[in-house]
Structure 1
Amino acid sequence: MLGLNELIGTAKAAKDQVDVILLKAIVSDSGEARVAASLCLSIAEQFSAAILLIEAHHSAQAAIIVRSMLEGLSDLLNLARDPKHLDQMRFENARSDVVLFEGFVNYNSIREDLTAIKTLNEWQAKALPIRDQLRSKGLSHQQVEQKFKAAGIQSEYITYRVFCSFAHNQLSTLIARHAGPAVLRYHSDVPEETIKSILSVALAILCKAVKALPKFTDIEALEVITTLDRIDAMWEAAG
C-alpha cells in the first residue's frame, strides 16, 4: 500500500483523467442536461477542494466537502434517471428561499430597512408562485434518505450520515477531533486510514458522476468506461 502522499498523487492523476472528458464534453440542449452537467462539474470541483484540504492538513473539513458531493450525486443520478426530477429540485429551491426570506423579514434589524424589505418581498414574490405551483402538482419536501433511495445509492446514506457528524459538529466528532491527553488538539489531522477512506469515497462519487455523462452530453459510454477502468486500475495499484 502506498503512503498518503502517493495516494493523494494518484487521486490528482485520476482527476486529470476525468478533466480530459469534462473539458471536451458538449452538453445536450435542455435545461435538465445543463443542470445535470452543472452538478457533475460541482462534484469534480469539490473533489479538488477535498484534496486541497487534505494537503493543507484540514482533513476533517474535507469530509464536509465529500458530504456535499454525495448530495450532489443523488440529485445528478435522479436527474439522469428522470428529467422530471428537475421539478423536485425547483420545488426544494423555492421552498428554501421562501423560508429564508420569511426569516429575514422577521429580524428586528431588517424590519426598519425599507430597501431590504422591498428586495426581500420581490424575491419572495418570485419564489412563492413556483413553490405553490409545484406543490399543487403533488410535489413535497423530499428527505435526503428518500432521495438517495430513488437515486439507487441508499447504501451510501450511512456514509452520508457519518460525514454529517463532521459538518454538524456532533459531540463525539468534536471529542475525536480535538481531545488530547493533556491539551486540546488544533489543526490536527484525522487518522491516516480515515483520510484514505475520505479520499476513496470522494473518488467513488466522482466516478459515479462521470459515468452518467453520456446521458446528458455527447460523450460516448465506451470512452467513459475506458477512463473509469483506467482510474480503477490506478487506485487498486495505489491501495
Structure 2
Amino acid sequence: MEANSNTNKTISNAQLKEMGYWDSTMEYLSTIDSSFYTIYKDFLLTPYTNNIFDAKTIELIHIAINASPTNLCQSKLEMHIKNAIIHGATIEEIFEVLKLVSVLGMHTCAVGIPILEDEYNAYSNHSMSVCLNEKQTEQKNQFIKKMGYWNRFRDILLVNDGQFFESYLKYLTNPWEKDIISEKLKEFIYIAIDSSTTHLFEKGLRIHIRNALKYGATFEEIMEIFKIVSTQGSSTFHISLPILEEAISEI
C-alpha cells in the first residue's frame, strides 16, 4: 500500500509539473489503469507542450468548453478556472469568457428560424418576404459594423421582434465593447464552443475561423484549438469515475 501511495504521489507531482493541475479523477484513473492513464495524460498534455499558446490561453479555452451550455462539466470547469487563475488570469478575463460562451443559446434561432421559414413557406405555398424599415436597417448596419457578419435569420428575427433583437445585439456585443481580452482570443473562444463535440455548429465555425484569420490568427493556432477541444471527451471520466468510485465503496 505504501509503495502504491508513493507511485501515485510521483505521478501527481509529474502531472502538476507538466500541466499545472491534478485532481481526484486523475488519481483514481492512474490507480485503476496505469497504462491507460499514461496514454490519457499524453493526449491531454500535447497542447501544453506545443508552445503554440501560453498556459493561460489554454485554460481560458478549457473554461469556454466546460462552461458551454452544451457541456457544463462542473468538475473540469472548477479545475480549469483555478488553473487559469494560477497562470495569471483575472476575474474580469474569466468573466468575459463566460459572457462570450453564454450567447451560444442564440444558436436556437440560428438553426430554428431558417427551418421555420422553409416549413412555413412550404405550408403557405409562398415565399416569405422580409422588408426592413429605416430603424431596422440601422440596427442591421450596427450589427454588421460591430460583428463583421450577418445571416438571413437575423433579418427575420429583426422584423419579427425589434425589441428582442436590440437586447440580443447588446448582449452579443457587450464583450466587444471592452478590451479585457483580445479580438483574436474572442474568436478563439467562439471557435472552441462551435467546434465542441457537443455542438458542432458548422455555420458559426466558418464565420469565426474567417474572423480569427482577419485578426491575425495562424493556421497552427486554430489547429491547436481543435486539439484542445478534442480533449472534451475526458469529461466522460470526470463525470463517471467519481460515481464508479462511490458505487464500489458502497458494496
Could you state the TM-score of these two structures normalised by the residue count of structure 1?
0.28
Tell me which structure has the larger Cα radius of gyration.
2
Bigger relative contact order (CA 8 A; separation at least 6): 1
Could you state the TM-score of these two structures normalised by the residue count of structure 2?
0.27
